[in-house]
Amino acid sequence: MKEITVIFGAGYFYKQISKLLINTNQYFLVDNDSRLWGENLDGLIVNNPQNIEKLNIKYVVITVQNIEIYKQIYKQIQSIDCTVRIVDYRKLLSDLYCDLIELKNDKLNFRQEIESMNIIFDSYWGGLGLGGVEDWTKYVVGQLITEGLNHTYIISKDGKYVIPDIMKDNILFVEDKYVSLQKQLIFCLADLIYHKLPCKVVVSFPNEVLIAASIVKTKYPDSISIIAVDHNDIDDFLYRYASFKEDIECVVGISYEVTEKLMQHFETNKVVLMKLPIKWEKNIERNYNCNRNDAIRIGYAGRIEIEQKRFDYMYKIIEILELKKVNYIIEIAGEGKESTELEAFIKQKKLENRVRYLGRLEKNQMLDFWKKQDIFLQFSEYEGNSISKLEAMGMGCVPIVTRTSGIKNVIYNNINGYIVEVGEYEKICEKIEFIEKNRGILCELGQKAHEAVKDYGNQASHLLFWKEILK
């Protein structure tokens, strides 16, 4: 009995994929909308999902984008057949593109001359601009090159970036002219990876580079290994990575929370926890603004954007602090889509003396930035494990954060910082006001915050962690 690929969902993404389906008798289309059953859509008849139990299934592809609907369909499929493999539509794209692309084995002699395995880190999605993932990628690659692993590279989309001299010849630039998941982009990335075989590819996002690496692995399974790093505690990434679990040799979680979720979808021996590296010193020289005549100093560092970072809450927080006449100064470091709006807000409200927008600061400026702050502020909708938070705590800042991934075993509510639920910006203001009126707790909370992140201060250990994974 031949294997059938079930496509669940007859909407937008099916219509995009259907153009690539050559042998339609290998596919079976289903949808929950009974009005579509029996219709021929782009060469396939739409069926009742219950009919899949009669098939010999290769895997079921869920084509919906909305993660909540995706999870509902995932459970629905499992209720019909708990043994069937379920994947995101990116996996089907990978298989379809693999049949179309030709990677000729014309580099064999060159590959035999390579003294060591090539290593490729993925930074395509965000380029090499501002961001925790991007900074981490540059840091690790720089450390590996310093250790003599000169065949270590970064894939990045083209752009104007500040690139350390040590890795200027190790960036594999891709033109920034493609749309997401475009065939030409996947082919370009696959060809780039192919010309670095044999190699290990470290992907930071479950998107184009992962698809390209999967294609190359299908064609040259013994010449490439794929390592995935899950930087964000969002279900979209979890399910996408799980769709490629047969191709992924090792999956790295950057927090306890992320790692626990990964273990629900991967074999436990494939999952490892990574502790992000920060500069941490036992004795730090800093002062707190314990005198109520002095403004309490609040720091924010990160992307100035509403998506994920929820920077719209910053405006609300500032307005409430003004209304309550809290004695504060907020310093904001970063850039993003809300930068112009922030500058206009400061000017319109005449807040130049209280709200200071510093723009982008370089990595080597951040420790001095945090040393001046009393409070670290973060109100994101989700995080992986914010390195800004770890660096700020390492410099003794008191964290006031939303409950996201990366706070477990680091922030203890009312002991070394404060945790509120996502969206509770009023409670963030209450915590700031409480600290401003009770300055004596700053030193105690700050010292406990500093101590809580000392395990992240072993930068040599982080390098050894990656050398072990990549060997």
Residue 392 in contact with residue 376, Cβ under 8 Å?
yes
CA atoms within 13 A on the CB side of 44: 28
What pTM was estimated for this model as a whole? Answer: 0.87
Residue 162 in contact with residue 432, Cβ under 8 Å?
no
Does the domain made of 296-452 have the CATH classification 1.10.3720.10? no
Within the chain, which residue ranges are assigned CATH 3.40.50.2000? 108-278+458-470, 296-452
Q: Taking all residues of the chain, what is their mean pLDDT, rounded to a whole number?
A: 92
Per-residue pLDDT, averaged over 362-372, amounts to 92
1 vs 398, higher pLDDT: 398
pLDDT of 108 reads 43
pLDDT per position as a tens digit, 184-207: 999 999 999 999 999 999 999 999
Does the domain made of 4-84 have the CATH classification 3.40.50.970? no
Residue 386 in contact with residue 132, Cβ under 8 Å?
yes
How many Å apart are CA 269 and CA 285, to the nearest integer?
42
Q: How many C-beta atoms lie closer than 10 Å to residue 101's C-beta?
A: 18
Q: Quick one: what percent of the chain has pLDDT higher than 90? A: 80
Tokens representing residue 121 in the block:
């880190």
What's the CATH superfamily of 108-278+458-470? Glycogen Phosphorylase B; (3.40.50.2000)
What are the start-end ranges of the H helices in 202-268? Answer: 208-219, 235-243, 256-262
Tokens representing residue 98 in the block:
């693999």
What are the start-end ranges of the H helices in 147-234? Answer: 183-194, 208-219
pLDDT per position as a tens digit, 141-176: 999 999 999 999 999 999 988 888 999 999 999 999
Residue 351 in contact with residue 318, Cβ under 8 Å?
yes
Q: Which amino acid is at 331?
A: E
Instruction: Calculate the dihedral angle through the C-alpha atoms of 187, 193, 196, 200, rounding to the nearest 10 degrees.
Output: -160
Within the chain, which residue ranges are assigned CATH 3.40.50.720? 4-84
Has residue 183 got a pLDDT over 50? yes
- Strand segments, DSSP code E, in 216-318 are 224-230, 248-253, 271-273, 296-301
**What are 156's strand-pairing partners?**
173
How many Å apart are CA 263 and CA 392, to the nearest integer?
30
Q: Which amino acid is at 449?
A: A
For the chain, helix (H) and strand (E) counts, in that order, are 16, 19
pLDDT per position as a tens digit, 351-364: 999 999 999 998 88
Instruction: Calculate the dihedral angle through the C-alpha atoms of 253, 255, 261, 263, rounding to the nearest 10 degrees.
Output: 50
Q: How many C-beta atoms lie closer than 10 Å to residue 32's C-beta?
A: 15
How many Å apart are CA 130 and CA 149, to the nearest integer?
25
Taking Cα atoms as reference points, which of 421, 420, 444, 447 lies closest to residue 432? Answer: 420
Cβ neighbours of residue 361 under 8 Å, at least 6 residues apart? 301, 333, 369
Tokens representing residue 391 in the block:
């660096």
pLDDT per position as a tens digit, 69-117: 999 999 999 999 889 999 999 999 999 999 888 776 554 444 444 446 8
Reply yes or no: is the peptide bond before residue 49 cis, omega within 30 of 0: no
- Computed from CA positions of residues 75, 79, 83, 87, in that sequence, does the dihedral angle turn out positive or negative? negative
Quote the DSSP letter at residue 413. B
Q: Which amino acid is at 381?
A: E
Residue 257 in contact with residue 408, Cβ under 8 Å?
yes
